[in-house]
Structure 1
Amino acid sequence: MRLVASDIDGTILGHDGKISERTIKAFRDCREAGVELVFVTGRPPRWLYPLQEQLGHSGIVICSNGAVVWDLATEKPISSTALDIESVYEARRIIKGIRPDALFAAETLTSFHLEPGFIENETSELLAEFTPAPLDRTLKADDAVVKFLAVTRKGTPDEFLAEVGPAVSHLVATTHSAPRTAMLEMSVPGINKAVTLAKYAESLGIQAADVVAFGDMPNDIEMLRWAGHGYAMASGHPEAILAAGRQAPHFDDDGVAQILEAKLTGQRV
């Protein structure tokens, strides 16, 4: 084990916004043992504060499902892969034709653009700084859209993905990570957590066989398959569990910490 790559939400971070003390200690023990740590998330850079505040992490984070590599120490991107605006609008048009009730948002390197109604609770503190408006009024031609989002209030995330994913596959890579909200996350075709993690590991001279990865949702599937030791949370999505082939115990039982503790002490897991 030379590199630990972990998803954040539902894997190490709960709905209460907390990382358990046991998990914090497990990551600290990894650092002290000389194991590299990288967090791989669908979150944008502005929402990485739990890593800084609770873990004291100041290293690299792979954000936006692999579209951004972010340096927490400098608060700047190391690299990014953005959708062109034409693909964003064409994907929106196609999805709207299939699901007229769908609403959209676009994550850029510098801001977040959301249509009115995209967030049910528009008093959300996390999004209070952003004013909902039609995308064609706020998005500029040179905006670097690293993640495009679509949400509907009807059906499940899996149903929404199955319905519209194939129709826009020539424009965007589509996945989801919200357990209950039918929200799709779209990026440049060929970009996902695994692709960017593999490049990062290679830059450190680390092979997939020496990577331990943790995740819980469909946006983690490629990463869990790529890593030599991919663990899906027992509390995770069935497709993630199937893809990984290995399970970490349930999130509520500090599953990530249990696996890391065992590996650090040489136990077979």
Structure 2
Amino acid sequence: MTSAISRPQTPASSAPTRLIATDLDGTLLRDDKSVSDRTVAALAAAEAVGIEVFFVTGRPARWMNVVSDHVHGHGLAICGNGAAVVDLHGGPGSHRFIKVRELPRTAALNVVTVLRAAAPGTSFAIERTGGLHHEPAYPPLHLEPGESVAPAEKLLAEDSYVVDQPVLKVLAHHPDLAPDAFLTLAREAVGDRAMITRSSPSALLEISGPGVSKASTLELCCAERGITPEEVVAFGDMPNDIEMLSWAGTSYAMGNAHPDVVAAASGRTVANNDDGVAVVIERILERHGQAN
């Protein structure tokens, strides 16, 4: 998607900003997965005046290297659509799980059974704290080899050699269905057994434990800091950001955002390739300076 606006549309808010929560892919990151110099400077400036920055992403912890050099202060990120809070201090490969909100193994098995029946042809991958495991038919969407390859029922079996590693999410891919149609079908079939969302342009669904989302884990982190929703500014571009954008007191859909995200956000900024997050942070810092 391309930007449909030339400058941010800023929602009115009188609350001071204490925390910035931003998605990564399609939001903070440019399409080439880089963090621009302007964005790096904006993140550092926000932290320097006491505004905490949380990266809130569907990515697993091991894919956080792209931003681990840009963490400041607490150094925490919310990964796996809320399934884990990770300390990124120490750089690539040395992250530490602070909080894990797992999808129970039996619930994961139940979801696999339901989706096999509702959408024949679906293939699955299992994201655990120790790595990715997938079925033979699951496509190498990110050119990442699995720790093991087997049917999902075996990967989730009670005697699996990684049964001690919590399941963060199940990934479900369909080769033929349209992405939004697959999401709607899966939500209707699974019901409240799990949270289902999507962030990929392909028909790839991300399935977390009941009640686990970017929003609910961000809410927990904010409560621990005494930060209210009104003091949070959030950014996103895809359906897995909708709950977070709805929860935050001020939220921005990127210029390249999915239409449902635009409808959920209270404001809109320019596209990720135009540094839409940095543009808004700079305005927040201007207001912060005026208030001081």
Equivalent in 282, 287, 292 of residue 261 of structure 1 = 282
Equivalent in 178, 185, 202 of residue 156 of structure 1 = 178
Match of 1:134 in 2: 151
Give the 3 Å change call, closer, same or farther, for CA 136–218 of structure 1 in structure 2: same
Q: How does 1:93-112 map to 2 (within 5 A)?
A: 93-112=113-132
Aligned to 1:61, the other structure's residue is in SS state strand
Match of 2:169 in 1: 147
1:135 and 1:266 map into 2 onto residues whose CA distance is: 51
Give the 3 Å change call, closer, same or farther, for CA 50–85 of structure 1 in structure 2: same
1:89 and 1:137 map into 2 onto residues whose CA distance is: 10
Alignment partner of 1:12 is 2:28: yes
Q: Give the deviation of 1:137 after TM superposition.
A: 3.2
The answer (yes or no) to whether the contact 2:215–2:243 under 8 Å persists in 1 is: yes
Tell me the amino acid that sits aligned with residue 248 of structure 1: T
1:22 and 1:109 map into 2 onto residues whose CA distance is: 33
1:120 and 1:110 map into 2 onto residues whose CA distance is: 18
Unaligned runs of at least 5 residues, structure 2: 1-16
The answer (yes or no) to whether the contact 2:134–2:146 under 8 Å persists in 1 is: no
Q: Give the deviation of 1:165 after TM superposition.
A: 1.2
RMSD between aligned residues: 1.9
Aligned to 1:184, the other structure's residue is in SS state strand
2:259 and 2:49 map into 1 onto residues whose CA distance is: 33
Unaligned runs of at least 5 residues, structure 1: none
Q: Give the deviation of 1:244 after TM superposition.
A: 0.7
Aligned to 2:193, the other structure's residue is in SS state coil
Q: Give the deviation of 1:245 after TM superposition.
A: 2.3
Identical-residue share of aligned pairs (%): 38
Equivalent in 62, 72, 75 of residue 46 of structure 1 = 62
Aligned to 1:82, the other structure's residue is in SS state coil
2:106 and 2:49 map into 1 onto residues whose CA distance is: 47
Alignment partner of 1:67 is 2:83: yes
Q: Deviations over 1:204-236 (max 9, x none)?
A: 111111111111111111110111111111211
The answer (yes or no) to whether the contact 1:113–1:139 under 8 Å persists in 2 is: no
The answer (yes or no) to whether the contact 1:82–1:187 under 8 Å persists in 2 is: yes
Alignment partner of 1:222 is 2:257: no
Tell me the amino acid that sits aligned with residue 172 of structure 2: A
Aligned to 1:265, the other structure's residue is in SS state helix
Select between 205-214 and 135-144 the one with higher mean Cα deviation.
Answer: 135-144
Match of 2:106 in 1: 86
Match of 1:248 in 2: 269
Select between 57-66 and 128-137 the one with higher mean Cα deviation.
Answer: 128-137
Give the 3 Å change call, closer, same or farther, for CA 121–81 of structure 1 in structure 2: closer
1:170 and 1:97 map into 2 onto residues whose CA distance is: 17
Q: Give the deviation of 1:136 after TM superposition.
A: 3.1
Match of 1:196 in 2: 217
**TM-score, normalization by structure 2:** 0.85
Tell me the amino acid that sits aligned with residue 259 of structure 1: V
Whose RCO is larger (CA < 8 A, sep 6+)? 2
Q: Deviations over 1:84-139 (max 9, x none)?
A: 222111211111112111100111111211111212468x2xx1363422233333
Q: Deviations over 1:174-207 (max 9, x none)?
A: 11111x2101111111111111111111111111
Q: Give the deviation of 1:239 after TM superposition.
A: 0.5
